[in-house]
Amino acid sequence: MFTNFPFFPQQASEQAATIDALYFFLVAVTAFFTLLIAVLVAVFAVKFRRKHDTEVGVAIHGSLALELLWTFIPLGICMVMFVWGAQVFFHMTRAPRGAMEIHVVGKQWMWKAQHMDGAREINELHVPIGKPVKLIMGSEDVIHSFSIPDFRVKADVIPGRYNTMWFTASKPGKYHIFCTQYCGTKHSAMIGTVTAMEPADYQVWLSGGSAGGTLAEAGQKLFTDLSCNTCHMENAQGRGPVLKGLYGKQVLLASGQTVTMDDAYIRESVLNPQAKVVAGFQPIMPTFQGLVTEEQLLQIIAYVKSLK
């Protein structure tokens, strides 16, 4: 216990240094003002210590100049923190185009990851260094949160929707994955390991065993098994809209609203088809709630995305 304990997390992602720089700035400001106040209080307490029982202090009512000073200087410093923090936040929440996608599903009390090419992991995540990785995350039950402290990344994993986060690992090694949203009895056991590897090693690992085909191939199989293709045909003769080439486009709904055909929309339409019916089509699609798991949904989404 008293040897070899860490004082500071590793910087194992390209984001980590950015976050740590911001952190050190905040620490410096905190330390400065804490010391300033502590020293002032100590000095005043000593220098003006009561000398006899009936002594009173001098009547000083205030100073507008001082009030303005200690209002606007802290406000200015806070605005620096705000802008810097917002910049970092924008960077952290916008994955670069072409980031390698991995789907993560959290459920009480384990993490399941699916790589696009089909590789599956439980409580583990293998990633190459130097390449941006984007996690698309869903939950099967309650709210979880996926956190890799050494990468400085975290995002809540909420049932009923997808949240994403991204990182670029920079240092090979093994790092903690923690669930950071209380989710029940084994919340503190819902942990895992990220293994960051040199790209070559990652390829070796990847080819090592992904029986079962890519995510999109699994999705295609589901598409047929669940008879989606009987209404969503390749031509416009089906009772449902054509899905080919539709991913990422704007869609007009029967209610007059427009939505983007994205992961969340696909997921919602499978589970709750009446919610956003496309204009010109009847609300006759049956629901698949209870018939597909979160992982299968991700496979179907991967398949629809792949239809170009």
Partner 1 sequence: METTAPPLNYLNNGHTIASWLLTKDHKRIALLYLVSITFFFFLGGFFALLVRLELLTPAADLLEPDMYNRMFTMHGIVMVFFFLIPSIPAVLGNFLIPIMIGAKDLAFPRINLLSWYIYVLGGIFTILAALLGGVDTGWTFYAPYSTSASNSNVLLAGVGIFITGFSSILTGLNFIVTVHRMRAPGLTWFRLPLFVWAHYATSLIMILGTPVIAITVLLVAVERAFHLGIFDPALGGDPVLFQHLFWFYSHPAVYIMILPAMGVVAELVQAFSRKNIFGYTFVAFSSLAIAIIGFLVWGHHLFVAGQSTYAGLVFSIISFFVAIPSAVKVFNWTATMYKGSVSWDSPMLYAFGFIGLFSIGGLTGLFLATLGMDIHMHDTYFIIAHFHYVMVGGAIFGYLGGMHYWWPKITGRMYPEGWAKFAALNVFVGFNLTFFPQFIVGYLGMPRRYAMYAPEFQIYNVLSTAGATILGVGYLIPMIYFAWSLKNAPLAGDNPWGARGLEWEIPSPPPTENFPATPIVTEGTHQYAPSREVGIV
Partner 2 sequence: MSDAPSAYQPPPVAIHPAGHGHTPHHPYLQHHFDNMEQQAEASTLGMWVFLVTEIMFFGGLFMAYLVYRWQAPLGFQEASHHLNIYWGAANTAILIVSSLTMAFAVRAAQTSQPARKQVFWLVSTMVFGAAFLGIKAIEYSDKFKDHIIPGPDFVWHGLYPKPAEQFYSLYFAMTGLHALHMVIGLGIMSVITWMAWRKTFDNEYYTPVEVAGLYWHFVDIVWIFLFPLLYLIGRHYHAAA
Measured CA to CA, the distance from residue 230 to residue 238 in angstroms comes to 7
DSSP type of residue 97: T
Query: How many C-beta neighbours within 10 Å does residue 179 have?
Result: 25
Tell me: does residue 65 bind partner 1 (CB under 8 A). no
Residues 1-40 that bind partner 1 (CB under 8 A): 1-2, 4-9, 18-19, 22-23, 26, 29-30, 33-34, 37-38, 40
Return the one option of partner 1, partner 2, none that residue 299 interacts with (CB less than 5 to 8 A, by type).
Answer: none
Residues in contact with partner 2 by the rule CB under 8 A? 254-255, 272, 274-275, 283
In angstroms, the Cα distances linking 49 to 52, 88, 277 are 9, 47, 76
Rounded to a whole number of angstroms, the minimum distance from the CB of residue 83 to partner 2 is 31
Answer yes or no: are the C-beta atoms of 157 and 89 closer than 8 Å.
no
Rounded to a whole number of angstroms, the minimum distance from the CB of residue 259 to partner 2 is 12
Tell me: does residue 44 bind partner 1 (CB under 8 A). yes
Tell me: does residue 66 bind partner 1 (CB under 8 A). yes
Judging by DSSP bridges, how do beta strands 132-139 and 100-107 pair with one another? parallel
Choose between 87 and 274: whose C-beta lies nearer to partner 2: 274
Choose between 231 and 271: whose C-beta lies nearer to partner 2: 271
Answer yes or no: are the C-beta atoms of 295 and 115 closer than 8 Å.
no
Answer yes or no: are the C-beta atoms of 308 and 245 closer than 8 Å.
yes
Rounded to a whole number of angstroms, the minimum distance from the CB of residue 264 to partner 2 is 13
Q: 127 exposed, middle or buried (CB, 10 Å; 0-12, 13-18, 19+)?
A: buried
Choose between 272 and 306: whose C-beta lies nearer to partner 1: 272
Answer yes or no: are the C-beta atoms of 1 and 158 closer than 8 Å.
no
Which residue, 249, 263, 254, is CA-closest to 300? 263
From 60-68, 199-207, 230-238, 300-308, span contacting partner 1 (CB under 8 A): 60-68
From 74-82, 99-107, 220-228, 249-257, span contacting partner 1 (CB under 8 A): 74-82
Residues 238-257 that bind partner 1 (CB under 8 A): none
Choose between 90 and 236: whose C-beta lies nearer to partner 1: 90
Rounded to a whole number of angstroms, the minimum distance from the CB of residue 283 to partner 2 is 5
